[in-house]
């Protein structure tokens, strides 16, 4: 249970102010007839790629929508039970001077981290990229065969 003192703490107050400011920006942009794309909160969330995770008998398969991203701009890392997908979505403006009449596609860095619910065989992880979809297959660690341990006596 929270006490009144915990609500008055600096960290909580700062987080609440940030959330309130972002919500105010969304509602203000809607009331002024602006599109939500103008909101910093919307831009950040639209940059995150959509992910599906499914489990088969022998593996976990993660699919991630990352259209228009070059393979060299993708980074996949496994640390313990966490899979991290990083990348950068670049625009023409980053290459040269471009002016847009309308711009809705987000650009910049993104990172998604997922906790894998079971141990995997890190040496057999594979990743493929086809038609804008990244597929990462993580084979489950095979269960060790039961082994009987003999007890010696003297």
Alpha-carbon distances, residue 130 vs 61, 90, 148 (angstroms):
15, 18, 46
| pLDDT at residue 107 in the model | 78
Q: Say yes or no to pLDDT of 116 above 60.
A: yes
What pLDDT is recorded for position 84? 93
Which of 35-39, 69-73, 114-118 shows the lowest per-residue confidence on average (mean pLDDT)?
35-39
| DSSP letter string, 45-60 | HHHSPPEEEEE-SSEE
Helix (H, G, I), strand (E, B) or coil at 22: helix
Q: Report the percent of the chain where pLDDT is more than 90.
A: 31
Buried b or exposed e, range 44-68, using 16+ CB within 10 angstroms: eeebebebeeeeeeebbebbbebee
Which residue is listed with tokens 């088969």?
Answer: 56
d(Cα 5, Cα 3) in Å, to the nearest integer? 5
pLDDT at 1: 46
Q: What is the DSSP string of 84-132?
A: EEEEEE--HHHHS----S---S--EEEEEEEE-SS-B-GGG-EEEEETT
Dihedral sign from CA coordinates of 59, 60, 65, 69: negative
CATH number of 50-154: 2.60.40.790
C-alpha 150: how far from chain center: 48
Highest mean pLDDT among 13-27, 71-85, 88-102: 71-85
Joined tokens for residue 38 = 């103008």
Q: Are strands 59-65 and 74-79 parallel, antiparallel or unpaired?
A: unpaired
Contact 66, 47 (CB under 8 A): no
User: Where do the structural domains in the chain lie, given as residue ranges?
Assistant: 1-47, 50-154
- What is the token pair recorded at 57? 């008998």
Average of pLDDT values for 33-56?
67
Q: What's the confidence (pLDDT) of residue 6?
A: 52
């Amino acid at each position: 249970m929270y006490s009144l003192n915990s609500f008055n703490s600096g960290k909580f107050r700062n987080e609440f102010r940030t959330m309130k400011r972002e919500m105010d920006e969304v509602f203000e942009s809607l009331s002024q007839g602006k599109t939500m794309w103008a909101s910093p909160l919307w831009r950040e969330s639209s940059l995150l790629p959509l992910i599906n995770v499914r489990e088969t008998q022998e593996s976990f398969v993660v699919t991630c929508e990352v259209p228009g991203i070059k393979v060299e701009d993708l980074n996949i890392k496994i640390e313990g039970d966490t899979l991290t997908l990083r990348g950068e979505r670049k625009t023409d403006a980053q290459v040269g001077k471009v002016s847009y009449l309308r711009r809705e596609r987000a650009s910049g860095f993104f990172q998604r981290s997922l906790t894998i619910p079971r141990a995997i065989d890190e040496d057999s992880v594979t990743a493929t990229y086809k038609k804008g979809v990244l597929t990462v297959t993580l084979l489950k660690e095979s269960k060790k065969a039961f082994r009987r341990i003999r007890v010696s006596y003297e």
